[in-house]
């Protein structure tokens, strides 16, 4: 009865074993977890293209990193944790040097595996905030900001420079009701108590992303002074449209860094004034971007649709790939090896030091703010700014905003400790550190 199935799977296993491409010794395998399908494709596609194009550009322009070609391969996750795990098992035998899950859910599932499998995880500005503690999570990296930093920065911006400025106000929090949106919740709750503002919660279930009208009825009833959004996929566009319908003042509606250009654009003129926190420059006016255009897009090696290049999401993708490239370069420098492994790249990540000079050298001066990571700090809690939608593009409308680190750090410490305690037998850090 189960004969056929066993044979089938054995055959399949054999086929897979044969299929595993024999990578040359002098190449570095970088899998990209992407999603161009499903309900979150709207957010995923731009990021996927940005990540892919920057790495392809390095291959085309410099022949890889340090003379070693990068083997870039996409695995489609559909923002689905199950498929993400499947992707992880698919890429693992090919010795990936780094994994970018691009989903808080997948990140949470992979965190315990990272130290066992010796593959570092880069969850750029998403994932578990507590993972900023490098001494407890040596394999997880979430630069340049955690969701808690982001929350503190938005609150500071709204409070006119300090969170205490919000005393007595009502702040609404409209969030994607999954691991991602909940991540910031403890911080908001702590701050609401500390700074004395009234916090109203508007969770949007993934199934109701495009059917938010009852949440907006609540918002009309509560009339919050400010509204903060942590949304993803189709939720962002739908929320901006609902805000237009509900006549919510757009300049008091601030989102975390995820809405792309298409999200406010689809809501028409009413979306003018919508604000978003970001940590890297808008647009594509940087030397590295011109190289992407020259070596990748103009040669037809990119899947990016017209208008995607230089958008917020595309730029997020480029930033993510810049971190990957920088980590690999650092790893090569530290170990002296050319074809680095996951363990080397973990050390590379801990030694990322993007100062002005280095940013200029890689052609991204002005795009990213300088920052460095250390063994203890895997995040940098970098500075951000607020950008505003003017109907066609984003413009910077604020000065640098730094994280309220005094309020974020205790929470991170507490959460990291709790995580290690809850997962009995959480390993003590014994990985090397190159910058004590």
Partner 1 sequence: MFYREAGQFKTSYAADMAIFPIRQDRIGLAVILAIAFVAIPLTGDQFLLNTMMIPFLILSLAGIGLNILTGYTGLLSLGSAGFMGVGAYACYKLQTYFPQVNILVWIVVSGLASSAVGVLFGLPSLRIKGFYLVVATLAAQFFLEWAFARVPWLYNYNDSGAIEVSNQTLFGVYVTGPNATPATRYLVVLTIVTALTWIASNIVHGRIGRMWMAVRDMDIAAELIGIRLLRAKLTAFAVSSFYIGVAGALMVFLWFGSAEPEAFDINLSFQLLFIIIIGGLGSIVGAFFGAVIIHLLPIGLRALPALLHINVPGAMVEHLTYMITGALIIGVLIVEPHGLAKLWQTMKQKLRVWPFPY
Partner 2 sequence: MNILHAIFVDPFAQMISAPDLLVQTVWEGFVGGVLYSLIALGFVLIYKASGVFNFAQGIMMVFAALTLVGLHEKGAPAWIALALTVAIMYALAVGVERVVLRPLVNQPDIILLMATFGLTYFLIGFGELVFGGNPKAMITEQLFLPSGAIDLSILGGKVTLQKLDIAAAAIALVMVAGLGLFFQKTRIGRALRAVADDHQAALSVGISLNQIWVVVWFAAGVVALATGIMWGARSDVSFALQVVALKALPVLILGGLTSIPGAIVGGLIIGIGEKLGEFYWGPLLGGGIERWLAYFIALAFLLFRPQGLFGERIIERI
Of these partners, partner 2, partner 1, none, which one is at the site of residue 213 (CB under 5 to 8 Å by kind)?
partner 2
If one asks whether residue 1 binds partner 1 (CB under 8 A), the answer comes out as yes
Q: Which two tokens stand for residue 429?
A: 């850090």
**Among 43, 56, 59, 81, which residue interacts with partner 1 (rule: CB under 8 A)?**
81
Mask: binding to partner 2, 214-243, rule CB under 8 A, as x and -?
A: x--xx-xx-----------xx--xx--x--
Q: Does 179 bind partner 1 (CB under 8 A)?
A: yes
432 binds, among partner 1, partner 2, none (CB under 5 to 8 A by kind): none
Rounded to 5°, angle at Cα 126 from 146 and 87: 150
Per-position x/- string for 300-319, each x denoting binding to partner 2 as judged by CB under 8 A, each - no binding: -----x--------------
Contact residue for partner 2 among 23, 27, 37, 252 (CB under 8 A)? 37
Site string for partner 1, 366-405 (x = CB under 8 A): ----------------------------------------
Strand partners, 121: 99, 140
Give the three-class secondary structure for 269: helix
37 binds partner 1 (CB under 8 A): yes
Kindly state the smallest distance separating residue 217's Cβ from partner 2, in Å. Answer: 5
> Is the sign of the CA dihedral 77, 118, 73, 372 positive or negative?
positive
Tokens of 188: 């908001």
Would you count residue 18 as binding partner 1 (CB under 8 A)? yes
Choose between 16 and 246: whose C-beta lies nearer to partner 1. Answer: 16
CB-based contacts of 214, cutoff 8 Å, min separation 6: none
Locus of tokens 């757009």 = 250
Whole-number Å distance between alpha carbons of 237 and 239:
5
Token digits of residue 318: 């480029």
Q: Catalogue the E-assigned strands of 132-256.
A: 140-141, 170-176, 198-204, 226-230, 253-255
Asked if residue 50 binds partner 2 (CB under 8 A), the reply is no
| Binding track, positions 166-205, relative to partner 2; x by CB under 8 A | -----------x-----------------------xxx-x
Whose CA is closest to 331, among 348, 346, 310, 314? 348
Q: Is 24 in the site for partner 1 (CB under 8 A)?
A: no
Provide φ and ψ at 268, rounded to 5°: 75, -160
What does the alpha-carbon distance between residue 106 and residue 91 come to, in Å, rounded to a whole number? 14
Q: Is 300 in the site for partner 1 (CB under 8 A)?
A: no
Q: Does 118 bind partner 1 (CB under 8 A)?
A: no
Q: Are 281 and 367 in contact (CB under 8 A)?
A: yes
Tell me the C-alpha distance between 203 and 226, whole Å: 16
Footprint on residues 417-436 left by partner 1 (CB under 8 A) = 422-425
Told to check if 211 binds partner 2 by CB under 8 A, we report yes
Residue 205 in the binding site for partner 1 (CB under 8 A): yes
DSSP letters of 163-195?
GGGGTT-EEEEEEETTHHHHHTHHHHHHHIIII
The HSE-up count of residue 400 (CA atoms within 13 Å, CB side) is 9
Binding positions for partner 1, 121-140, rule CB under 8 A: 128
In terms of CB distance, is 67 or 307 closer to partner 2?
307
Q: Which of 27, 90, 210, 353 binds partner 2 (CB under 8 A)?
A: 210
Instruction: Verify binding: residue 266, partner 2, rule CB under 8 A.
Output: yes
Interaction of residue 209 with partner 2, rule CB under 8 A: yes
Instruction: Write down the H helix ranges in 246-386.
Output: 262-265, 287-292, 312-335, 342-350, 356-361
Cα 185 to Cα 183: distance, rounded to the nearest angstrom = 6
Phi, psi at 385, each rounded to 5°: -150, 170
Q: What is the dihedral of CA 389, 392, 394, 397, to 10 degrees?
A: -60
| Closer residue to partner 1, CB minimum distance, 45 or 369 | 45
Any contact of residue 396 with partner 2 (CB under 8 A)? no
Q: Which does 246 bind (CB under 5 to 8 A by kind): partner 1, partner 2, none?
A: partner 2
> How big is the site for partner 1, counted in residues (CB under 8 A)?
57
386 vs 91, 149, 240, 257, CA distance in Å?
A: 37, 14, 17, 9
Binding site for partner 1 (CB under 8 A): 1-6, 8-10, 12-13, 15-19, 21, 34, 36-37, 74-76, 78, 81-82, 85-86, 89-90, 92-93, 104-105, 108-109, 112-113, 115-116, 128, 177-179, 182-183, 185-186, 205-207, 303, 415, 422-425
Binding site for partner 2 (CB under 8 A): 36-42, 45, 177, 201-203, 205, 207-211, 213-214, 217-218, 220-221, 233-234, 237-238, 241, 245-247, 262, 265-266, 268, 305
């Amino acid at each position: 009865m189960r004969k056929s199935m066993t044979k089938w799977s054995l055959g399949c296993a054999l086929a897979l074993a044969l299929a595993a491409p024999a990578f040359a010794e002098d190449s570095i395998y970088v899998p990209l977890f992407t999603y161009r399908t499903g309900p979150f494709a709207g957010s995923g596609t731009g990021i996927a293209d940005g990540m892919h194009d920057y790495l392809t550009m390095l291959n085309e322009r410099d022949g890889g990193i340090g003379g070693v070609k990068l083997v870039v391969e996409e695995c489609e996750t559909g923002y689905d944790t199950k498929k993400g795990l499947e992707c992880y098992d698919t890429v693992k035998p090919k010795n990936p040097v780094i994994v970018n899950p691009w989903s808080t859910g997948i990140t949470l599932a992979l965190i315990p595996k990272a130290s066992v499998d010796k593959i570092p995880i880069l969850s750029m500005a998403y994932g578990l905030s507590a993972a900023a503690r490098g001494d407890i999570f040596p394999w997880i990296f979430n630069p340049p900001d955690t969701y808690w930093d982001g929350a503190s920065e938005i609150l500071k911006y709204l409070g006119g420079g300090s969170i205490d400025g919000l005393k007595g106000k009502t702040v609404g929090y409209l969030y994607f009701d999954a691991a991602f949106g909940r991540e910031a919740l403890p911080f908001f709750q702590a701050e609401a108590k500390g700074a004395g503002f009234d916090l109203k919660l508007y969770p949007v279930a993934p199934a109701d992303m495009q059917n938010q009208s009852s949440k907006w009825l609540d918002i009309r009833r509560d009339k919050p002074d400010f509204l903060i959004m942590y949304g993803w996929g189709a939720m962002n566009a739908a929320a901006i449209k609902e805000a237009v319908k509900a006549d919510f003042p757009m300049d008091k509606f601030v989102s975390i860094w995820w809405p792309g250009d298409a999200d406010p654009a689809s809501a028409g003129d009413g979306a003018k004034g919508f604000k978003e926190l970001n940590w890297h420059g808008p647009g594509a006016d940087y030397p590295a971007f011109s190289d992407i255009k020259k070596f990748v897009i103009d040669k037809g090696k990119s899947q990016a649709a017209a208008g995607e290049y230089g958008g917020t999401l595309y730029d997020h993708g480029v930033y993510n790939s810049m971190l990957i490239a920088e980590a690999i370069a650092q790893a090569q420098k530290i170990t002296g090896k050319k074809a680095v492994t996951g363990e080397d790249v973990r050390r590379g990540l801990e030694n990322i030091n993007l100062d002005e000079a280095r940013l200029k050298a890689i052609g991204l001066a002005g795009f990213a703010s300088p920052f460095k990571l250390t063994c203890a700090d895997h995040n940098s809690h970098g500075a951000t700014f607020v950008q505003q939608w003017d109907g066609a593009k984003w413009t910077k409308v604020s000065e640098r905003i730094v994280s309220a680190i005094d309020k974020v750090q205790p929470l991170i410490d507490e959460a990291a400790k709790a995580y290690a305690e809850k997962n009995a037998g959480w390993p003590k850090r014994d990985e090397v550190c190159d910058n004590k």
